[in-house]
Amino acid sequence: MAETIIKIDNVSKSFGGKTVLENINLEVKKGEFVTFLGPSGSGKSTMLRLIAGFLTPDEGTISMNGNDITKVPPFQRKLNTVFQHYALFPHLDVYDNVAFGLKLQNLPKQEIEQRVSKVLKMVSMTDYEDRDVTSLSGGQQQRIAIARAIINQPEVLLLDEPLAALDLKMRKDMQIELKEMHKKLGTTFIYVTHDQEEALTLSDTIVVINEGKIQQIGTPTDIYNEPCNSFVADFIGESNILNGTMIEDRKVSFIGHEFPCVDEGFGENVPVDVVIRPEDIYMTHKLEAAQFTGVVKSCVFKGVHYEMFVDSDFGHELMIQDYNAFEIGSTVGMLIKPSDIQVMKKERTCNTFEGVMVGSNQVEMIGAKFDCEDTGLAAGDKVRVEVDFDKIELLDNKEDGSQTGQVSFILYKGDHYHLTISTREGDKLYVDTNDIWDKWDIVGISIKPADMRIVKA
């Protein structure tokens, strides 16, 4: 196993009271191509800026080759960055941009010239030395930015969404070039992107980040085939995420049917999340041989395969990809192989809030006061409140609720939506609903007194 080059230990960072990274632990091996993957605002760029040295963590340490570099300024770190918008110096031409790092080291002119022409050749930008950087296209600027960063021969190259500004065709070409460059240079690459396909194509290791926490670390195949929670499953590729129950070892029930699977050790009759990739459901016209049946609702040609939505016999909507098209309205049979069923432990089965009693029939929690049934508890008593996912009502008119929140994550579970609602104070509520909400909608939150289970803490 290769040795560790970058080690991140218990790093936390917050901006103005808002936690951006929480307790991050990560090791990057020498020569690895590591990708930080997450949606915008997940904290992945902050993590890169911490490694580059433009930010210092509030807590924790970052070390490189075993030396603590947490407080070392960026110009003394042996790593270089390719910036998101390239940040090429507009007052210098291509040659001076690329030679910037070498000129600072006061190297002889001849050596600088040799090395500049070598890296320009590497990024296929020979003969562009005298060009103004502002006259270059996006892809060319990108190449110059990479040349400028690798000329210092850094031990680690940091890339902050370097392909985000390019069009699709160009992005695909650059992906291949980056991968080849990584092989040729042998340098450790740390790459930040929100594009899951890019991450799967390029990386040796993917670090999935959401809301300031590492969700999963693994190879592209691990992350795709065995997502560890519903966020990762939803974020990487297409998937059907369903509520299920683990009946016993190797037997799971979902969409109203029992299926054999390969997972063990969950216990008996435990609620679980089940992930099925759309290409892993087999469709057939032979209904008697199928595990369950359904009616084809839509069928769209996607180039290589057809993408179909099928309503199963117990009313769950499934996304299926198949090379053959099935007629809309026809009844089809479906099969799922045991090894294609990915079972995940549920992170929670109901909402749990910390609260304080205001009176015997009012409780203060998630930053607001809620009426509850008479508990007989005195004001000031600390309590734990449990509310089922489907017992929280979301209201269009935010003034009508006891508290307001914003829809921050939407998960479709075949027959209902599972929403994450974040309040301004940072509390999170999980809601099951059949209503359609959009991400970032502001909603009023209301809970009926009878639906709260209050236990003295």
Comparing CA positions, the residue from 171, 5, 189, 159 lying closest to residue 83 is 159
Question: In this structure, are residues 39 and 235 in contact, taking their beta carbons and an 8 Å threshold?
Answer: yes
Q: Which of residues 368-407 bind other proteins (CB under 8 A)?
A: none
Q: Which of residues 406-445 bind other proteins (CB under 8 A)?
A: none
Region near other proteins per CB under 8 A, out of 21-29, 85-93, 258-266, 292-300: 85-93
Residue 101 near other proteins by CB under 8 A: yes
> Cβ closer to other proteins: 51 or 283?
51
Q: Report CA Rg, the chain.
A: 27
Q: How far is the CB of 350 from other proteins (least distance, A)?
A: 45
Q: How far is the CB of 134 from other proteins (least distance, A)?
A: 7
Among 105, 106, 397, 434, binds other proteins (CB under 8 A): 105
> Cβ closer to other proteins: 37 or 52?
52
> Cβ closer to other proteins: 154 or 355?
154
Comparing CA positions, the residue from 9, 77, 19, 88 lying closest to residue 49 is 77
Q: Which of residues 29-58 bind other proteins (CB under 8 A)?
A: 52-54
Residue 114 near other proteins by CB under 8 A: no
Among 42, 45, 46, 80, binds other proteins (CB under 8 A): 80
Q: How far is the CB of 107 from other proteins (least distance, A)?
A: 12
Region near other proteins per CB under 8 A, out of 75-83, 202-210, 389-397, 416-424: 75-83
Among 17, 66, 90, 108, binds other proteins (CB under 8 A): 90
Distance CA 362, CA 352 (A): 17
Among 58, 68, 104, 328, binds other proteins (CB under 8 A): 104
Q: How far is the CB of 70 from other proteins (least distance, A)?
A: 17
Q: How far is the CB of 207 from other proteins (least distance, A)?
A: 22
Region near other proteins per CB under 8 A, out of 58-66, 77-85, 123-131, 448-456: 77-85
> Cβ closer to other proteins: 122 or 411?
122
Among 60, 100, 284, 360, binds other proteins (CB under 8 A): 100
Residue 67 near other proteins by CB under 8 A: no
Three state DSSP letters for the chain: CCCEEEEEEEEEEEECCEEEEEEEEEEEECCCEEEEECCCCCCHHHHHHHHHCCCCCCEEEEEECCEECCCCCHHHCCEEEECCCCCCCCCCEHHHHHHHHHHHCCCCHHHHHHHHHHHHHHCCCCCCCCCEHHHCCHHHHHHHHHHHHHCCCCCEEEEECCCCCCCHHHHHHHHHHHHHHHHHHCCEEEEEECCHHHHHHHCCEEEEEECCEEEEEECHHHHHHCCCCHHHHHHCCCCEEEEEEEEECCEEEECCEEEECCCCCCCCCEEEEEEECHHHEEEECCHHHCCEEEEEEEEEECCCCEEEEEEECCCCEEEEEECCCCCCCCEEEEEECHHHCEEEECCCCCEEEEEEEEECCEEEECCEEEECCCCCCCCCCEEEEEECHHHEEEECCHHHCCEEEEEEEEEECCCCEEEEEEECCCCEEEEEECCCCCCCCEEEEEECHHHCEEEEC
Q: How far is the CB of 290 from other proteins (least distance, A)?
A: 57
Region near other proteins per CB under 8 A, out of 57-65, 74-82, 190-198, 204-212: 74-82
Question: In this structure, are residues 275 and 230 in contact, taking their beta carbons and an 8 Å threshold?
Answer: yes
Q: How far is the CB of 54 from other proteins (least distance, A)?
A: 6
Residue 85 near other proteins by CB under 8 A: yes
> Cβ closer to other proteins: 123 or 421?
123
Region near other proteins per CB under 8 A, out of 15-23, 84-92, 309-317, 413-421: 84-92
Among 10, 58, 68, 89, binds other proteins (CB under 8 A): 89
Residue 152 near other proteins by CB under 8 A: yes
- The site for other proteins (CB under 8 A) is made up of 52-54, 73-75, 80-81, 83-85, 87-91, 100-101, 104-105, 134, 148-149, 152
